[in-house]
Amino acid sequence: MSQIDLQIPEVSIREIRLGSITGFQGSAKELVKCSRCGLRDKTRSFSQCLGCSTSHAACMVILIQDAAVISHGPVGCSSCYHEFAFTYRVNSPLRGVEHPGQRRIFSTNLQETDTVYGGEAKLASGIREVYERTHPHAIFVLTTCASGIIGDDVESVCDSAEEELGVPVVAIFCEGFRSRVWTTGFDAGYHGIARKLIKPARKRRTDVINVINFWGSDIFSDWFAPFGAKPNFITPYSTVECLEHSSESAATVQVCSTLGSYLGAVLEQDFGVPEIKTAPPYGVAQTDRWFRELGKALHKEKEAEELIVAKKAEYLPKIAALRRELEGKTAYVTAGAAHGHALLNVLGELGIRAEGAALFHHNPLYDNGSEKSDLLAQGVKDYGDVPNFNICNKQEFELVNTLNRLRPDLLLARHGGMTLWGAKLGIPSLLIGDEHFSMGYEGILRYGERILEVLENDEFVKNLEKHAVNPYTKWWLSQDPYRFLEKGAASAGGGGGSK
């Protein structure tokens, strides 16, 4: 099953490694069914700006405390990274980083002549200069479309620099055009980290658990305390040294399988760290399962059961009370794959009916190959089917059309740019960036309370609706939302999913 090979410089893209897709229409149940017999991706004959791999690889290395990052491309390919510098500074208190250092982000600033004569010499001298200016504990080099197409041998340049400078110089292959699934960029970043930074374990620790995550709040220190363990957050706010020894942890958990799929699997397969394969704890049933598997992996089943009982006694009555207030409301969800599934679970707990979802891609299974990680399949069993289930890589035109049709009571989003259209249509919209916010039993309560607040305070969106500017044609808004999506069966086996 495993497609992981740390011997080769480039990570295999998700489309090939996992059979991931970016186009589907149908229901959640149909997608789950098709996923087991090989999904066939569909293209669109109209498309809008997507994200790309390079910025997704970037966010996983820029926030490492003591590293420097070089984007090997024209200046434009690193121009949104100041946002990660902002994130690093602003969220540092959540991780107890008292003096967040300035992020050191460079561009090789490729020019037209470099596309003719190659950019290798420039990269080599650039790495040296960055080392002199920053003295980092590691340097990450991100490739771009331009450096990829002109065929620079980035791996060799980085290897020579590493030998010369004596610090890891990690080539990360994340050219945008290689994959339509931009989360391939996470895999590319982790692939580089696993190849060049993570060292074989000197010993196995029982008191440290890897948490593959973004930059959210620390709920894990409290959660792990009863197990006598503490979190090792990777990779944001990690240090190069912590990453090197992440191979020694007792286990690895992920806050989002879309994010951590590759690294979780690598740490288990190549470094022997057991991965908690049960999908992250969103919703009551899933939280039960997750704590149980964690307890099992740490040989602390009793502590897990005690924790579950105590937390449920505290939170379930509150959740039930909240459910009474929210029962019967409808919502639409747009998010990345795994976190979208997570939000659907939380809605299920709160008694809110999901009218549909637009999730950015779909992985039939993750790198560990385990069905336990498939939160969508589990969610359909726990909470029932979700209609109007669309796999749509941030195609705003489909979202606008669908929302305009469904007019749910609420729009839930996980990524920037997606809530605007909910608001323009007068639909209360909520974006929670911190994926830890809705985790666990307490997360259901936190999230539900936020939803209630958003539903109660809809004056802003109702006013905006009256004055909203709309660039979409009347024709388009009266069409089937999937009009520009390729027709035909969704699975190689000819399963459902198409109209």
Partner 1 sequence: MSNAGIRNAGIIEQERYTCAIGALQSVVAIPRAVPILHSGPGCGTMIQGFFERSTGYAGGSTSPCTNFSEQEVVFGGIDRLREIITNTYKVLDTDLQVVLTGCTSGIVGDDVDALAEEFRGQGKPIVSVETAGFKCSNLVAHSLVVNAIVDQYVSLFEEDNPSRSEKRTVNLFSSIPYQDPFWKGNLREYKRLLEGIGLKVHVLFSPESRGVAEWRQIPRASFNILVSPWYGKPIAEHLEERYDQPYLQFPHVPIGANETERFLRQVLAFAGEQDAALDEIAAGEFIRREREAYYGEIDNLATFLLEFRYGLPNHVHILHDAGYVVGLSKFLLHEVGIVPKEQFIVDNTPEEFRAQIEADLKSTSDRKTIPLCFEPDAGKAQDVIRSLRHKGRGLIIGSGWDKELAREKDYDFLSAAVPTPYRMVLTTNYVGFSGGLRVIEDIYDRVLATYR
Closer to partner 1 at the Cβ: 130 or 211? Answer: 130
Eight-class DSSP state of 166: S
3-class SS letters over 345-372 = HHHHHHCCEEEEEEECCECCCCCCCCHH
Cα dihedral sign, 288-293-295-296 = positive
| 396 belongs to the binding site for partner 1 (CB under 8 A) | yes
Choice between 6 and 145, CB closer to partner 1:
145
Q: How far is the CB of 76 from partner 1 (least distance, A)?
A: 3
User: Rounded distance, CA 430 to CA 413, Å?
Assistant: 6
- Cβ-in-10-Å burial (0-12, 13-18, 19+) of 219 comes to buried
Distance CA 53, CA 66 (A): 23
Piece of the chain touching partner 1 by CB under 8 A; list 40-48, 247-255, 261-269, 336-344? 40-48
Residue 330 · residue 352 · CB < 8 Å: yes
Nearest to 247 by CA among 290, 284, 285, 202: 202
Sole window of 46-54, 230-238, 251-259, 317-325 interacting with partner 1 (rule: CB under 8 A): 46-54
Stretch that binds partner 1, among 74-82, 165-173, 210-218, 227-235 (CB under 8 A): 74-82
- Say whether residue 51 binds partner 1 (CB under 8 A): yes
Interacting residues with partner 1 between 431 and 470 (CB under 8 A): 469
> CA–CA separation, 435 vs 405, rounded Å?
28
Report if residue 420 touches partner 1, rule: CB under 8 A. Answer: yes
Q: Which stretch binds partner 1 (CB under 8 A): 162-170, 308-316, 394-402, 439-447?
A: 394-402
Nearest by Cα to 348 from 423, 416, 447: 447
| Options 155, 476, 489, 496; binder of partner 1; rule CB under 8 A | 476
Phi, psi of 138 (to 5 degrees): -160, 155
Residue 280 is given by DSSP the state P
Binding residue (CB under 8 A) for partner 1 from 24, 106, 223, 447: 106
**Per-residue x/- track, 83-102, partner 1 (CB under 8 A):** x-xx--x------------x
- Where in 137-196 is the site for partner 1 (CB under 8 A)? 144-146, 149-150, 175-180, 182
**Residues in the site for partner 1, rule: CB under 8 A?**
45-55, 70, 73-83, 85-86, 89, 102, 104-115, 122, 125-126, 129-130, 133, 144-146, 149-150, 175-180, 182, 394, 396-397, 417-418, 420, 469, 471-473, 475-476, 484
